[in-house]
Chains A and B, each alone.
Chain A
């Protein structure tokens, strides 16, 4: 056990954990932040996606020791009030069904939008194809991502 210090949703955080413990389980079980989901444990489904220094990362295969000193954003920290353009568009387009994969979809989509302000369908396919949704909300995600780009361009939401 060793203390690992990092920034979590803008605030300093320190946890004592086995260095190999994945960030996912530190977030969920140690810190009680359950918005980040467990889906596969092997970086195959995207449900556990968080941002580390702005990049989308699979927290299920990221040992806690690897995040020392880094800035982590989870779904809980994306915005204080669901005002991030992705969240606003997700609400507008009523994307989620069961909703379990959506934290990961939203974090992946937010990273895409940060990098590519007007993503094409091909950009969306490439960025989003490793986020699995068993309810099949893909069409709605695509529509909402285009909408989020509009909201962002218009300076709306956040």
Chain B
């Protein structure tokens, strides 16, 4: 029996026994805990909403939580239309289920955008069912009732019934379609700052992340992987591994050797004593200098434009002033604070994975593929993520854990060390960009060309986003692209192509402004004249940052403009540079992300994205003989407490369709700061991370 095969609306109707059905596959300690939290009887009104007879409301959050606030913001959408008491809400992550659509996952800052209407509809439908149940009991028309704070009120008599009293009857009613949604002007929850539902468990250690999963008889594993990407095991000697206290098994899997033990530490100790001979493969020939040269050669080779406007080459040739520049960025690791991990249990008749993942649907697919079971036989338990940033959009670590688990008949938790995490990431691609710009006789940009070379993983458009689709109405523009892939695995990294391409584009636009003797803000204003949303964000940021007001000696301001994930973000950074060190004092951030669900969440995410973007100024991943040279935070440093600027977030009021927010502010941080460095020092940063010699 599996919850997945039961009718969504019926399987919980009968109360406690059915809740047991939901928990199939959860082993005792966990099961006891859940049952303790779950009402004795409860009724499911839809795939998203369960109402307990004790008035608790359980929201099944079909997305995942990596810090971006999804659990809270999606609950706000449901609660707004359900009219439930916020204090009665609890949340769970359901399994993979077609009731939630063909794809469950969190990518591309899509959660609110893809749920803004559908979750309000789910809340409204459930409210209508509860009202109908009350109307039946009172023998009145539903129009004579209204819902407020988890009760239905009979408007004629003022009688009240709580949702807990009504849920059983409501669950027997058909789910209505096309229920009218509230006018946003009537919103009581959506659009107002709301504290996160997941905070309490995150201040007392009780929130369970993937790495915290514990199951009866569970073993612990680590995997020794080839230090060179794509390498395979030629042979291995586990003699000393097997005599390490606590070690149970050493098993060859497709990408390395797994050491399985009775604790994570024992597995790590056993791995230390393992000797593996590797077939390193072709990537061993590559190191950062030759990779960079291959990018430079490709970018110089010329190619048909991916996008062009006007006649860029002609306008460049006839421009009054011409400038050229080359920009470069390194591979970047995601380095979420929770190292990758996955717990898997493969049985002959089914498999389960417990995993902090951004991709529940793909998690089930890879687990099915690696276990040889049908997807319906695989249960995915979505755990809280200790950061994702795109890394947990990959499912390599889930497939690997399933492979390890196949070698034993008990659950196994595979944990990655920080070094494993940093050396076996799917990195942000290193990238290289050649620009030429032409100015007219008055100093305004009139021609702009770009050649970008970097490894593609999602097509040329993704590799060039941020340059290709820049928002400026410059009369003559062309961009070409060269896919150069040295074999280092690359993938999505918070804000994807925009993360490096906006650094390139916003920095070079600044160069053009200065070369023409123009104020960088003035140039942006001119070429955004037909983009009212970005222009309004620019004006708001300029006003709040007091652009133009004199700064202390040695300080400078820089601006960046970004349109990504459906949102419009302008940042103005204030920096000073002393003794070869950059200090970012303040970042003023104006964002128009359309209709806002949780303004407090927007503010959090803007600051978070800025911190993430600023870390890209400090570190990079370099390759030597096909191996990543960095292993831990001493070699791959990130922004810390004393480096975090004061971030001021200003939201442009908007009723436009919601935009994404988790990735909106990452791209603009580096260029705003680097443009400010130029304003402060006259030094132009064209390569990240910033090196001391670039500031000297």
Contact = CB atoms under 8 A, between A and B. Distances in A.
Interface of A: 1, 18, 21-22, 25, 28-30, 32-42, 44-45, 47, 74-76, 78-79, 82, 87, 90-91, 94-103, 106, 124-126, 128-142
A135 B387 CA distance: 7
A47 B339 CA distance: 11
A138 B208 contact: no
Closest 4 CB pairs of A and B: A35-B205, A136-B611, A100-B386, A98-B67
Interface residues of B, number: 64
B198 interface: yes
B101 interface: no
Given A47-B337, A97-B608, A139-B646, A134 B265 contact: no
A90 B203 contact: yes
A45 B608 contact: no
B264 A28 contact: yes
Given A42-B418, A94-B195, A101 B337 contact: yes
B639 A87 contact: no
A124 B641 contact: yes
Given A42-B634, A99-B384, A135-B608, A94 B335 contact: no
Nearest to A144: B203
A96 B264 contact: no
Interface in B582-625: 600, 604, 607-612, 615
22 contacts: A21-B266, A28-B264, A29-B264, A29-B265, A33-B205, A34-B205, A34-B212, A35-B206, A42-B418, A45-B337, A47-B337, A82-B200, A87-B203, A96-B199, A98-B337, A98-B338, A98-B386, A99-B198, A99-B384, A125-B641, A132-B638, A136-B644
Interface in B312-353: 335-339
A131 B642 CA distance: 11
Given A42-B634, A44-B634, A82-B204, A97 B611 contact: no
B674 interface: no
Contact of A97 (B69, B201, B212, B418): B69
Contact of A91 (B65, B199, B639): B199
Nearest to A30: B263
A90 B199 contact: yes
A40 B214 CA distance: 21
Interface string B179-220: 000000000000000011011111111111101101000001
Given A82-B204, A99-B386, A102-B203, 18 more contacts: A18-B246, A21-B265, A30-B263, A37-B211, A76-B206, A91-B199, A94-B199, A96-B199, A97-B68, A97-B69, A98-B386, A126-B642, A130-B640, A136-B639, A137-B604, A137-B607, A140-B604, A142-B641
Given A42-B418, A136-B607, A139-B607, A94 B205 contact: no
B66 interface: yes
Contacts of B385: 98
B69 A100 contact: no
A126 B640 CA distance: 11
Interface in B503-536: none
B671 to A, nearest CB: 18
A81 to B, nearest CB: 8
Nearest to A99: B202
Interface in B364-412: 384-389
Nearest to A141: B641
A134 B647 contact: no
Given A42-B632, A98-B66, A124-B641, A134 B387 contact: yes
A127 B295 CA distance: 43
B245 interface: yes
B263 A102 contact: no
Contacts of A29: 220, 263-265
Nearest to B646: A139
A21 B264 CA distance: 10
Contacts of B337: 37, 39, 45, 47, 98, 100-101, 132-134
A91 B642 CA distance: 22
Main secondary structure of the interface of B (DSSP, over half): loop
Nearest to B244: A18
Contacts of B639: 136, 138
Contact of B612 (A36, A99, A125, A136): A136
A106 to B, nearest CB: 6
B265 to A, nearest CB: 4
Contacts of B110: none
B100 interface: no
A138 B640 contact: yes
A78 B203 CA distance: 10
Nearest to B205: A35
Nearest to B66: A98
A39 B386 CA distance: 10
Contacts of A129: 640-642
B287 interface: no
A1 B633 contact: no
Contacts of B220: 29
A35 B647 contact: no
B491 interface: no
Interface in B69-108: 69
B418 A39 contact: yes
B387 A106 contact: no
Contacts of B209: 37, 99-100
Given A98-B67, A139-B647, A40 B204 contact: no
Contacts of B199: 90-91, 94-96, 99
Contact of A135 (B415, B417, B418, B611): B611
Contacts of B269: 18
Contact of A94 (B196, B201, B207): B196
A37 B338 CA distance: 8
A62 to B, nearest CB: 12
B628 to A, nearest CB: 16
A87 to B, nearest CB: 5
A74 B633 contact: no
B389 A38 contact: no
Contacts of A98: 65-67, 336-338, 384-388
B196 A39 contact: no
A85 to B, nearest CB: 12
A135 B611 CA distance: 7
Contact of A34 (B65, B195, B208): B208
Contacts of A18: 245-246, 265-266, 269
Nearest to A82: B204
Given A37-B337, A44-B634, A96-B198, A21 B205 contact: no
A38 B615 CA distance: 21
A22 B266 CA distance: 11
A39 B265 contact: no
Nearest to A36: B205
Contact of A40 (B205, B604, B633): B633
Nearest to A142: B641
Contact of A138 (B202, B386, B641): B641
A78 to B, nearest CB: 7
B335 A134 contact: yes
A47 B387 CA distance: 13
A50 B246 CA distance: 25
Contacts of B263: 21, 25, 29-30
A142 B642 CA distance: 10
A28 B263 CA distance: 9
B245 A125 contact: no
A123 to B, nearest CB: 11
A132 B336 CA distance: 10
Contacts of A128: 641
A46 B615 CA distance: 18
